[in-house]
Structure 1
Amino acid sequence: MRYIADHVRVSVPATAGNLGPGFDALGMALGVTDEVEVWALGSRAIEIEIEGEGADSLPRDENHLMVRAIRAAADAVGASHTGLRIVARNAIPHGKGLGSSAAAVVAGIAAVRGLIAEPDLLGPERMLRLATQFEGHPDNAAPAIYGGATAAWQDADGAHAVPVTVALGIETAVLIPRSILPTKQARAVLPGSVPHADAAFNAGRAALLVAALAGAPERLLAATEDRLHQDYRAAIMPAAHAMVKRLRGQGLAAVVSGAGPSVLVLGENLGDAGLETGLLDWADGVGGDHWRCVHTIGPVAGVNVTSG
């Protein structure tokens, strides 16, 4: 496979996984994006510039997650490895349950799609399967690729996803604390098995959530109840637990975003509930943390790549 471009621009959104009861299956794109430029170089050099999130901590060599995703995508389509220059302008917070690693992987795969002569070889479903090999589960990668809300699953052929209809008027607000929580730590506290009654409870709530998103917003509070992961993680993310409890006590459909510790709210007219973009004075100190909000109205597009 030959390259027909040597420079691409990629934008990819933050995502919230789970959406409460849809553990490792449901996800939604959020109104925060990383912007990346990638150049294929004639040399073997790796040059990486990072602005924003991760500027002080991410590697600048082959160990960078985006570089690893680029290499995997190139191998998948039979393209050669080249030197790389990457300029990443990262706005998605790291360690907050907002899909930053999925965004990096998807951005790397999308960059290869924009560089090669036959981009259809890296269509959305193949991108999802490659990304899931990195992530282990598709609930963040799917909305990062397709945009909007998605339901994803895996079978013997790999990962798949379909869009989930979200009615006009349903908004998102994500509350982001200062604290961080590595996903690996959040997964480590989950039990190996759960009671059958809890599994049945979540199956019902996940089905209800799909219906509520499609046009029954009055059902969102009940539809976002969960028994599979949030309570098990409460001890390692007390601020998120306290915020979810406070917001749900006010009748708002609040859940832990992905593995946390950010909190996602789904509903209508969220600005009227004090969930506007920016620092939240009323939330300062809830759970012993400080919070800022990103309020998004309308659907968020998935990954976008342009060449040249």
Structure 2
Amino acid sequence: MIKVKVPATTANMGPGFDSIGMALTMYNIVYAEEIKEGLEIIIQDGNPAIPTNEDNLIYKTICHFYKSIQKPVPGLRIIQQDSIPHTRGLGSSAACIVAGLHIANAVSHSFFSKEELVQMAAQIEGHPDNTTPALLGGMTIGAMNEKDMKYVKARVAENLHFAVMIPEFTLSTELARGVLPTTVSLKDAVFNASRAALLTASMLTGDMDNLDLAMEDRLHEPYRMSLIPHMEEILQQAKCYGAKGTFLSGAGPTLIAVVKNVVDFRREMVSYLGSLEQNWQVQMLQADNEGAKVWINEELKY
């Protein structure tokens, strides 16, 4: 039996559109074992939106892996325990891709390195800011070309907490990308480049006083506000309650605030969000600095 535990991720961090992401202490757990033939997928939370056939993203990733090594896919039983909410901007699809690659790597006895899996995952998803931190943990800064992906991983300070504000409504990545412009001004490009550099340097050095400025964005957040009711007011209110920085998680609709005074912030934020109509939940998380883990027959492998 193979067990894979994959963290949630927040991508597009602040100005880091399609490039900067971070793993969070929220997890999907997937079990898999080889069977004589066929495919059996069990969704333990009973979510009807998750396919239990060949359209399942974990299984599709496994098929992609086996095609790359030119071997037939064996019969499989897959059991999913999903805690990462779907279509909320917390990397649920990336978690499936990472789980699928780890399962295929173990079942096929291919023994690809974690670095090789990082490259495969980025190519499958098309950008590195979800799958890379899901595999490696921490905050990752990545860039891709036609051949491969280069990245840097930074450990995130354990005294940083992330208030993850999740509404009951969903937002598809396709819709969220559809509102983005195809071109941006030089002024906005410089705006984001300077803040992405400041964000990276601040996280590497632990200088959290820069985050309010470093988290600013002009490439995607302004355009996606129309899809997320009260987004601007919520982020502003979070700063009034002491947030060091705020940003839209992935394509949304989840919003995140970086905080240190966890108890006071959560109390104030839960009270404020309770006055809104979208039934927001607040989860206080930290960064996962380790990334995905794999057990084979209950023995931790990596």
Give the secondary-structure state (helix, strand or coil) at the position aligned to 2:98.
helix
Cα offset, 1:221, TM superposition: 0.8
Q: Deviations over 1:12-35 (max 9, x none)?
A: 011000111100000011111001
Which of 274, 282, 290 is 2:279 aligned to?
290
Residue 213 of structure 2, aligned match among 217, 222, 225: 222
Report the equivalent of 2:11.
17
TM-score scaled by structure 2?
A: 0.91
Residue in 2 aligned with 1:209? 199
SS in 2 for 1:202: helix
Q: CA offsets, 1:120-148, max 9 Å, x none?
A: x2x22322232233322111111100011
Contact 1:40–1:85 (8 Å) recurs in 2: yes
2:33 is aligned, of 23, 35, 39, to 39
Is the 2:164–2:257 contact (alpha carbons within 8 Å) kept by the matching residues of 1? Answer: yes
- Judge conservation of contact 2:24–2:287 (CA < 8 Å) in 1: no
Distance 2:166 2:259 in 1: 17
Superposition map of 1:125-204 within 5 A: 125-204=115-194
Q: In the TM superposition, what whole-angstrom CA distance separates every residue of 1:38-68 from its partner, at most 9, and x where no partner exists?
A: 112221x11111023x711121111111100
CA contact (8 A) 1:13 1:32 kept: yes
Closer, same or farther: CA 268–91 of 1 in aligned 2, 3 Å? same
Give secondary structure in 1 for the equivalent of 2:221. Answer: coil
Q: Which moved more, 1:212-221 or 1:127-136?
A: 127-136
Match of 2:223, SS?
coil
**RMSD of equivalent CA atoms:** 1.9
Q: Following the alignment from structure 1 to structure 2, what is the Cα–Cα distance between the partners of residues 158 and 145?
A: 16
Moved over 6 A (4+): none
Q: Match of 2:238?
A: 247
- Once the two structures are superposed, the pairs formed by residues 38-77 of structure 1 within 5 Å of their partners are 38-43=32-37, 45-52=38-45, 55-77=47-69
Aligned to 2:300: none
**Counterparts of 2:124 and 2:236 in 1: how far apart (Å)?**
33
Deviation at 1:150, TM superposition (A): 0.6
* Inter-CA distance 68–281: structure 2 relative to 1 (3 Å threshold): same
Q: Which residue of 1 aligns with 2:97?
A: 105
- State the partner residue of 1:80: 72
Q: Distance in 2 between matches of 1:89 and 1:275?
A: 29
- Cα distance change on mapping 1:290 and 1:86 into 2, 3 Å: same
Q: Is the 8 A contact 2:266 2:282 kept in 1?
A: no
The runs of 5 or more residues in structure 1 that have no matched partner are: 1-6
Q: CA deviation at 1:305?
A: 1.0
Deviation at 1:167, TM superposition (A): 3.0
- Do structure 1's residue 273 and structure 2's residue 246 form an aligned pair? no
Specify which of 227, 233, 238 is matched with residue 224 of structure 2.
233
Q: Given the two structures, how large is their TM-score scaled by the length of structure 1? A: 0.90
